[in-house]
Structure 1
Amino acid sequence: MYLKNRISTEPRLAIIVANEDLWSIDWNVGAMRPPHGRSRTTDPTGDGATTPSSPATVRGTTRRRMLLTAGAGIASIAGVRSTQATQTTGCDERWHFETGEHVHSSPTVVDGTVFVGSGDNNLYAVDAETGDEQWHFETDGPVGHVRSSPTVVDGTVFVGSYDDNLYAVDAETGDEQWHFETGASISSSPTVVDGTVFVGSSDHNLYAVDAETGDEQWHFETGARILSSPMVVGGTVFVGSNDNHLYAVEAETGNEQWHFETGGDIPSSPTVAEETVFVGSMDNNLYAVDVATGDEQWRFETGDEVFSSPTVVDGTAFVGSEDYNLYAVDAKTGEKRWRFETSDHVVSSPTVADSTVFVGSLDNHLYAVGAATGDEQWRFRTGDPVFSSPTVVDGTVFVGSWDNNLYAVETGVAGSRVCHGQYTTPSADDSMWGVADEVPGFGVPGALTALGGVAYLLNRRRTDE
């Protein structure tokens, strides 16, 4: 653990290094512009649900997608950029904040400030009301992209970076408190529970780090890089790995409790609801797994890989797929309730507020869809693909785009949803940014979690106004 002060007040341009390592990293994060016009199956099984069986074989697309990622990087260097955002009826842009590169990170909103990472190597703090920058913190370059989504706990922002470090930054000033170095890039978004930060790294490890000092408590090694963001429930850490496994690890010791094998990488981040773990896989399936045993309850097959992280609300699991669709799936049975088709891959993780599902698509749009029916309410066009997962606070949705901007858009709905995953109506003791000690949320010692990113991603809270 080291302490540096790299707070900067002047805008910086990211240095983009087009080498094989960077392209490979982009592939593993899912941060590429996939080809348009791909043939796809939108509903391969009719109702989508399948019974447990041997995992499916994953198609060999890694090298092809790595090359596509490289092409996207070269286009960015050459200054190729889509037009500025425009919106259709039903929503209004409040403001947009421009960074120096793509915004893959999903925003976190705490006490009137939006925290978000950018591909320009910076973590930004932006006024939620005006869109004015409060500060930015620069990570190490040239490959210090911040695609991890920030977590804010007790006045400290925790975030991972492509420079291999987990950072703790003062939420008020942007000064670094400490950083913890892993063996490879961090795309995973940190989760903070009981004074411990949990985060995955591309060095194949899940880490537990003291939130106050930055000292390592333990690490758990998997068979491949971890892009998934951990979920902590009941003393157990749940996380996916690109070794095709979902792991349950004891939060105090780092000892494995069980693992569940799928047929593909798991960049998706798990969600826990009603004694069930929900997670997507690149074998095209959304899985429901018993939280105590790791036994499969059901799987729902989509027409392509599932990077998106599921959100569970009132008995329905919402998840996106690279088959261009957003799905609503019965959380008990795995049967499809509806699907909503966009014009490109849905890598963004959905959020739900006031019976509306918000999700981004690589067709450059942010969508608002009725949670009960799957009918489109409105769409908002940005200038490039939307990998970022939306956050809804006081009727405003915040989301990043690959056109370099963070957007604030009026939703036309009441209430707030400040992080991704399980949905639970708050009790009388809940505050805007925190919940009871046994439930993850924001700002409460003993039970706090992060927003998800490619995934995104963890427990959600709503406050109805």
Structure 2
Amino acid sequence: MDFGFGEFDSGFDDLSVEIEEFELKKTKKFTRIFDLGNGGSIAYCSVNGGKLFFGDCDGYVYCVDMEGNEIWKFRTGGIIVDSPKFHGKFMYVGCFDGNLYCIDSETGEEVWRFRTSDKVYGSGITGDGVVYFGSLDNYFYAVNAITGEEIWRFRTGGEIVSTPNIHENFVMFGCYDGNFYCLDKNTGKEIWRFHTDDHIQSEQTPPVVDGIVYFTSWDNYLYGIRTDDGKEIMRFKAGKLGLSGAPVMNGNLLIFGSREGILYAIDKNTSKEVWRFTFGKITIGASVMNGKVYFGSEDYNFYCLDADTGKEIWRFRTGSYTYGRPVFCNGLVFVASWDCHVYALNSETGEEVWRFAASSQERAYQPPPHREFEMVVKKEMHIEDAISEDRYKSKNEHSVSLSDYQIETEYSTTSDYKTKSDYDVNMVIFEGFIGGNDLWISDSVTLTPASLISM
């Protein structure tokens, strides 16, 4: 899932001290006191053979017909947040219980399961009888799609929560270590890697066009990289809060969303912005069909725009967040929602045709966020009109998972002032969260000014 931002009152707005150098440390501890597996929230869905398939946060996989009738459901051992992938009649589902499941899509019976050492966030991609996928155990796997036997594995420097793509003899994927990897799909040998300045997270497949693969990073950039040698062809900066998800193509346009609530359309040849649509909340994935772009948002709305101009055609209100890239069949667009429903809408008008409710109607809580903060130092030198303001972004100094239900993060920032004066120090805390403040269960923030340093 993706992260949004809100504000938190630090309580230090009126702090005035005489300092030579000021250091602020923030230690953030929070505990998830809920069972993350509870809830029927749905993130993604897939269409295959005229049927709709999806998993939910209660661990169920569903098969539904085009009229919204349940055909079968299969119970896994953990949360499912990605769309199923297919090879013939076999369906593959990654699960937070550490398994990649292979299920017969016609009967709903388990064929095999492949066990990793940590959560499997995505369902991977299939090609030439092989399913490729990553795990939070830092490994990227190639497994025989029929038997479930491991062919090879490749160790990265971080968790893998991105969907790969296959191009020619390459399999490519992003990683939390900030690298975008290209491997030989047959041997697992590394061909090249491209490093960004933050982690890469994308539940959508990064598109490849004319030998260039396009993906985003939390360093705020959209990248275009040559598949043969990993050389950068283009980059485009969008916002300040990081990017996740992969762009979707419409002719020469790369269309992708930001965490600031902006959907961008960029010309892939010039790297110039063509249009933008602002709606104020996070979006992750979009789809293009028949000259229209479809996407959901954390504002509970599902949008349809003209893909060439960015003009809104219609919107549909759901009961919660809609994260996943929508899918289509028989004139319908299918929208998975965190409100525990999948909606079937008329793709031309946006009118609801039917909705399917998951077994549980309790929405799943979402995990705690990464956070950042900003320290504002306002210099008041006691000289008329001599006031200036400098801002210092935090650095993530320490982040460790203490258990499945607790994460501790420490941040720090240091001012550059070397001369004694009176300063008003204003800490503005930008709190990241997934989904919204309504999902917070426990929250404790400690801000500790460092000792003053004398000359």
Residue equivalent to 2:306? 330
Residue type of the alignment partner of 2:182? A
1:243 partner SS: coil
The aligned runs of 1:213-224 (5 Å cut-off) are 213-224=187-198
Residue equivalent to 1:236? 212
Matching of residue 194 in structure 1 with residue 171 in structure 2: no
Tell whether the 8 Å contact from 1:350 to 1:358 is kept in structure 2 after alignment: yes
In structure 2, distance between residues paired with 1:131 and 1:291: 42
Residue equivalent to 2:34? 75
Matching of residue 163 in structure 1 with residue 163 in structure 2: no
**Post-superposition offset of 1:80:** 4.9
Residue type of the alignment partner of 2:179? N
In structure 2, distance between residues paired with 1:215 and 1:84: 34
Structure 1 stretches lacking a partner, 5+ long: 1-28, 35-57, 388-400, 404-453, 455-465
Which of 266, 274, 292 matches 2:269? 292
Tell whether the 8 Å contact from 2:116 to 2:137 is kept in structure 1 after alignment: yes
Tell whether the 8 Å contact from 1:250 to 1:256 is kept in structure 2 after alignment: yes
In structure 2, distance between residues paired with 1:179 and 1:370: 43
The aligned runs of 1:448-463 (5 Å cut-off) are none
1:166 partner SS: strand
Residue equivalent to 1:414? none
Matching of residue 113 in structure 1 with residue 72 in structure 2: no
1:266 partner SS: coil
Residue equivalent to 1:440? none
Aligned residues, how many?
Answer: 327
Gap change, CA 1:303 and 1:293, over 3 Å in 2: same
String of CA shifts for 1:191-250, please: whole Å, max 9, x gaps. 001010010000001000000000100000111100024221110010010111100111
**Post-superposition offset of 1:110:** 2.0
The aligned runs of 1:333-348 (5 Å cut-off) are 333-348=309-324
Aligned sequence identity (%)? 36
String of CA shifts for 1:164-192, please: whole Å, max 9, x gaps. 11110000110110111111100110100
Gap change, CA 1:247 and 1:127, over 3 Å in 2: same
**Post-superposition offset of 1:291:** 1.4
**Post-superposition offset of 1:121:** 0.5
Tell whether the 8 Å contact from 2:298 to 2:321 is kept in structure 1 after alignment: yes
1:76 partner SS: coil
Residue equivalent to 1:179? 153
Tell whether the 8 Å contact from 1:262 to 1:283 is kept in structure 2 after alignment: no
Residue equivalent to 1:354? 330
Tell whether the 8 Å contact from 1:386 to 1:402 is kept in structure 2 after alignment: no
Over 2 Å off, 4+ runs: 58-61, 67-71, 79-90, 383-387
Residue type of the alignment partner of 2:353? Q
Which of 6, 15, 30 matches 2:2? 30
Matching of residue 283 in structure 1 with residue 242 in structure 2: no
Residue type of the alignment partner of 1:156? V
**Post-superposition offset of 1:160:** 1.0
**Post-superposition offset of 1:294:** 1.4
Q: Flag the structure with more relative contact order, 1 or 2, with Cα contacts below 8 A and sequence separation at least 6.
A: 2
In structure 2, distance between residues paired with 1:273 and 1:334: 12
Q: TM-score, length-normalised on structure 2?
A: 0.67
Gap change, CA 1:386 and 1:279, over 3 Å in 2: farther
Residue type of the alignment partner of 1:199? F
Larger Rg: 2
Matching of residue 204 in structure 1 with residue 178 in structure 2: yes
String of CA shifts for 1:331-360, please: whole Å, max 9, x gaps. 010000001110111112101112111011
Q: TM-score, length-normalised on structure 1?
A: 0.66
In structure 2, distance between residues paired with 1:88 and 1:344: 24
Tell whether the 8 Å contact from 2:179 to 2:195 is kept in structure 1 after alignment: yes
Residue equivalent to 2:339? 363
In structure 2, distance between residues paired with 1:152 and 1:236: 20
In structure 1, distance between residues paired with 2:146 and 2:325: 28
Matching of residue 377 in structure 1 with residue 353 in structure 2: yes
**Post-superposition offset of 1:149:** 2.7
Residue equivalent to 1:448? none
Tell whether the 8 Å contact from 1:235 to 1:250 is kept in structure 2 after alignment: yes
Structure 1 or 2: larger strand share?
2
Matching of residue 274 in structure 1 with residue 246 in structure 2: no
Residue equivalent to 1:312? 288
In structure 1, distance between residues paired with 2:288 and 2:29: 32
